[in-house]
Structure 1
Amino acid sequence: MSGLWNRSRQCLSQGSLFPHRVSLTARLPPLQQAHLQPRQTRRALLTLAIETSCDDTCVAILEKSKTGAARLHFNEKITSDNRAFRGVHPLTAVVSHTENLAPLIQKALQSLPDAPRVEDGSHAKTLSVDGRPRLRPDFVSVTRGPGMTSNLATGLNHAKGLAVAWDVPLLAVNHMQAHALTPRLVHALRGQEVIPSHSPAAEAATGDQNMRSPEFPFLSLLVSGGHTMLVHSRGLNEHAILANALNIAVGDMIDKCARMIVPADVLSAEDSASGMYGPVLEEFAFPGSGASPDYEYNYEAPARRADEIKTFDSGHDWVLTPPLARMGKTAADMFDFAGLNGQIQKLMAEKPDMDVEVRRILAQAAMTLVFEHLTGRLVFALQAHSEKSAAAGWQSRIKTVVLSGGVASNKFLRHVVREMLDARGYADVEVVAPPASLCTDNAAMIAWTGMEMYEAGWRSDLNVLTLRKWPLDPNAEGGGILGASGWYKAPRD
């Protein structure tokens, strides 16, 4: 059937005290506070991270050596069961976080590295876990936002408790920044061999070990159930939003399409505790693609914008119009998924008895139109950057595109992006994406972002609150990542 679509898409500390601010110093200006915070040096850095922005309860332990190599000692998640709601139910997710986070942290502590023997008699920074001395994390990382307020608060409050108990700094980081930096984590994990076999982190170790760490600047398509944005990442905390969703996010749209298009018996057979049906739609549209690394999509990328926005004629008495087809570069900064979703909803209401093969054509068409729409904005951005570079006499162009967020685990999306860039003259632009387990929400990416922020000297006050909305762009209202209150800089060694 795919051939029909050739264009017709986580104890207390036993170690020496680490000076940390308490209520008497909390009101000091950041520069005065910083003098109270000498940096700790150790052969390697170790952090425990927590992610609870939505319905996944996630904990990770990450270690990074001075050489830059990273090792995941623990990385697990527990997803709330939202099947009865056919989508994320906030209260159900909060109950799941409350029930599962403390036991998951307790389990993670058993994976902390054993504390080394100290020959010079100095006092090692250790924790006693089940009677064994283990290294104490240097800091605690946690998602502060964006996300669901009550969900975020569960993780943030646990993280604050650990930071106080262990007398270590807190790094409260931006969830979307973490998604954008995930390929840098994957690169740092290269060559890792030992991860607990029971952990979902195993996939991270067996992913693309040759993935290069994207150097700034690069472009990111951050695509998930709650976000769709094209980001120009110029530095650790400099992320300009080039395009954003007008209405629903791409992951939300794909889930809705799956529930409308995929036969009910297939959906009920799928054990999707989160109620996220994107992977079901992908497998339904392209049977066998999930199990085959060399699946042939028989997809022909549109060589021109005019080809990209052509109306899709199914040959079965129905058509689909691509998103924003009648708008040119004036709409280069926006994504629209509600319109196409509405077309499909109307079509399925008119043809509720549509047979399986025609439903498969519809699934293929929906995904292709959506992914070409995403990539079309990416092409606009590459063109604009090239034109700006030429006008300024720069001899540079964007060399890397990062695909991140839950939807980035979709193999067909990766295929479409690669093929379209090749067809539009950007074959030299590298497309990088993490393994699937690191595309969806996870604590490993929070640990890595905490690590990068810690190394850059940033710390978070213990009085920080969750941020339901927290834009990446420093030019946006609120001043982006560093515009949020509660950051302070630790002095350099």
Structure 2
Amino acid sequence: MLIRSSIGYGAHMGAKIALFAAPRYVNTLVRSYKVLAIETSCDDSCVAILEHNKEGNKTKVLAQLKETLDSQKEGGIIPTRAHLHHQQKIAPLVQRALRETSSQGEIDLVCVTRGPGMPGSLSGGLDVAKGLAVAWNKPLVGVHHMLGHLLVPRMQSNGRAPQFPFVSLLVSGGHTLVVLSRSLNEHEILCDTIDIAIGDSLDKCARELGIRGNMIAKSMEAFINENLDDARSKEIFMILPKPLRNQNGRMNVQKFSFSPFLTAVKQSLAKDIALYTDREKRSMAFQVQESLFDHLITKLKLVIAMRPDIFSQVKHMVCSGGVGANKRLQQMLQTEFRNSFDEIYFPELSLCTDNAVMIGWAGIELYETLGLTTNLDVSPIKKWPLTEMLEVPGWICE
């Protein structure tokens, strides 16, 4: 049986979509359905299968798989290697997820990251997703990567999910943004970075301090936490910057800047890093991490102070992205903003870093709330502002 439901409806306006209140058909006989989700925006090949119950708006993760490219020897991600990695890994991961959940022939919706990200990486996942949508004759939803990070806390089923309007601090290796979300498709960037992202800065500073690993910032956090007494000792005192403050010490620039920290770390090293003791390196790493997080918090406080019209209405904050998994950052945010928000949400560790669950959930919200699917002729989008999420070709409105 089909019934009418008055929710968002899309209509093409050139390359844009305008949303109107118009009827959409919903099959009331379907209480739950399965979603296959794929994420390949960078160096992680990710696949997930979700089961979404429409009646209770509850979503169960049936499978969550990931294969990460090992780039330790290269000291960074090489796009051609990442592309090859996805070509080799994504199809077997899909096959494994389907087998482990006995979901072959039961998928009702395919969701995949369309952008932003590295085109070669994105194409690896997008091509597989389009092929599956064709083979299964199922709808496809091409998801904005950052929307996934922003919305994933709303997948919670305990009634404590963030409600619109809410603000998000999105912190990763490629992005550092403060985003106001008034609705699913209405986002405003309140603060971004003028140079590099905080995760990129953490990685580069950690590398200068001799720290190695596939996820270098995470390795630095673990190195610091091995001995917090040594870390806090200030065995070597470092002079680290406070970016974007004017000469009078005021902080009236609503932007982040993280590249000065790398310069400061290089200038602080008086000898080859191999000649420093672990105690000395741990002390330097702690100071670097604290200074970067302090800059992040200082600018977020400024944004709140400069926009009382917004924050008087905002009760919830989300911190997501790979850097959002850092326990020290979570602690600092909870301490500094406990009086600014009723609730601060941190996705569980596996959902902070790039993952397919967040892509599946964002796809569900786009599909159910706005009635959106994606045309099969779309291509990856390297740069895709979150504020222009619907202003790209390829959207289909049911």
Count of matched residue pairs = 374
CA contact (8 A) 1:385 1:398 kept: no
* Distance across 2 between alignment mates of 1:433 and 1:169: 31
Does the 8 Å CA contact 1:335/1:374 hold for their aligned counterparts?
yes
Q: Counterpart in 2 of 1:168? A: 138
Partner of 1:226 in structure 2?
174
Deviations 1:23-63 (A, max 9, x none): xxxx9x999xxx9x965551113210111000000111111
User: Is residue 242 of structure 2 the alignment partner of residue 322 of structure 1?
Assistant: yes
State the alpha-carbon separation in 2 of the partners of residues 39 and 421 from structure 1: 41
Q: Is the 8 A contact 1:145 1:174 kept in 2?
A: yes
Q: Note if 1:399 corresponds to 2:303.
A: no
Question: Which of 305, 310, 313 is 1:383 aligned to?
Answer: 305
Counterpart of 1:285 in structure 2 is 224
Q: Which amino acid aligns with 1:277?
A: I
Q: Residue 264 of structure 2 aligns with which residue?
A: 343
C-alpha distance in 2 between matches for 1:178 and 1:288: 35
* CA spacing shift, 1:297–1:484, aligned 2, 3 Å: farther
Contact 1:253 1:338 in 2 (8 A): yes
TM-score of the two chains, using structure 2 as the length reference: 0.87
What CA distance in whole angstroms lies between the structure 2 residues aligned with 1:55 and 1:402? 24
Residue in 2 that maps onto 1:258: 206
The residue type equivalent to 1:244 in the other structure is D
| 1:349 CA displacement | 5.4
Relative to structure 1, the CA distance from residue 297 to residue 400 in structure 2 (aligned partners, 3 Å threshold; closer, same or farther) is farther
Q: Distance in 1 between matches of 2:348 and 2:272?
A: 37
Equivalence map 1:108-119=2 (5 Å): 108-112=97-101
Give the counterpart of 1:47 among 35, 51, 54. Answer: 35
Contact 2:173 2:199 in 1 (8 A): yes
* C-alpha separation in 2, matches of 1:236 and 1:153: 25
Q: Cα gap change, 1:47/1:316 in structure 2, threshold over 3 Å: closer, same or farther? A: closer
Match of 1:69 in 2: 58
Q: Name the CA distance, whole Å, in 2 between partners of 1:176 and 1:400.
A: 18
- Aligned partners of 1:382 and 1:400: how far apart in 2? 13
Which of the residues 161, 170, 176 maps onto 1:213? 161
- Give RMSD over aligned pairs: 2.7
**Separation in 1 of the partners of 2:76 and 2:64?**
24
1:108 Cα shift?
A: 1.2
Q: Say if 2:26 is the partner of 1:56.
A: no
1-side partners of 2:230 and 2:110: how far apart? 44
- In 2, distance between residues paired with 1:219 and 1:153? 30
Secondary structure of the residue aligned to 1:84 is coil
| Secondary structure class of the residue paired with 1:83 | coil
The separation in 1 between residues aligned to 2:343 and 2:384, in whole angstroms, is: 29
Note closer, same or farther for the CA distance 1:253–1:349 as it changes in structure 2 (3 Å cut): farther
- Aligned counterpart, 1:122: none
User: TM-score if structure 1 supplies the norm length?
Assistant: 0.71
Q: What secondary structure sits across from 2:243 in the alignment?
A: coil
Which is greater in Rg?
1
**SS of residue in 2 equivalent to 1:73:** strand
Aligned pairs (5 A) from 1:177-216 = 177-185=147-155, 187-188=156-157, 212-216=160-164
Structure 1 window deviating more from structure 2 (459-468 vs 352-361): it is: 352-361
**CA displacement 1:63-86 (0-9 Å, x = unmatched):** 111201111111101011211111
Which residue identity lines up with residue 159 of structure 1 in the other structure? A
Query: Which amino acid is 1:450 matched to?
Result: G
Gaps of 5+ in 1: 1-26, 115-128, 191-210, 290-295, 300-312, 391-395, 474-479
Report the secondary structure of 1:110's partner residue. Answer: helix
Distance of 1:30 and 1:411 partners within structure 2: 40
Q: Deviations over 1:212-236 (max 9, x none)?
A: 2000111111111111111111111
**Residue 237 in 1 paired to residue 185 in 2?**
yes
Aligned mate of 2:373, from 459, 465, 471 = 459
Q: Which runs of 5+ in 2 are unaligned?
A: 1-13
The secondary structure found in structure 2 opposite 1:398 is coil
Which residue does 2:80 correspond to in 1? Answer: 91
CA distance in 2, matches of 1:350, 1:335: 30
What does residue 281 of structure 2 align with? Answer: 359
Report the 3-state secondary structure (helix = DSSP H, G, I; strand = E; otherwise coil) of the residue aligned with 2:383.
coil
| 1:447-486 aligned within 5 A | 447-456=360-369, 457-473=371-387, 480-486=388-394
Distance 1:414 1:389 in 2: 23
The residue type equivalent to 2:217 in the other structure is G
State the SS of the aligned residue for 2:301. helix
**Matched letter for residue 140 of structure 1:** V
Question: 1:142 maps to what in 2?
Answer: 112
2:3 match:
none
Q: Could you tell me how far 1:371 is from its partner in structure 2?
A: 0.8
Seq. identity, %: 38
Give 1:315 deviation, angstroms. Answer: 7.3
**Secondary structure, counterpart of 2:177 in structure 1:** strand
Shift of 1:321: 2.4
Q: Structure 1 residue 358: deviation in Å?
A: 2.5
Q: 1:418 to 1:369 in 2, by over 3 A?
A: same
Q: Which amino acid aligns with 2:391?
A: G
1:409 equivalent among 286, 303, 325: 325
CA deviation vs aligned residue, 1:430-471 (integer Å, no higher than 9, x gap): 211011111000000000000000102111111111100011
For residues 139 and 89 of structure 1, the distance between their equivalents in structure 2, rounded to whole angstroms, comes to 32
Name the CA distance, whole Å, in 1 between partners of 2:130 and 2:230.
Answer: 48
Q: Which residue of 1 aligns with 2:10?
A: none
Relative to 1, partners in 2 of residues 1:287 and 1:325: Cα closer, same or farther, differing over 3 Å?
Answer: farther
Query: Aligned partners of 2:237 and 2:218: how far apart in 1?
Result: 27
SS in 1 for 2:314: coil
In 1: Cα distance, 2:348 partner to 2:131 partner: 32
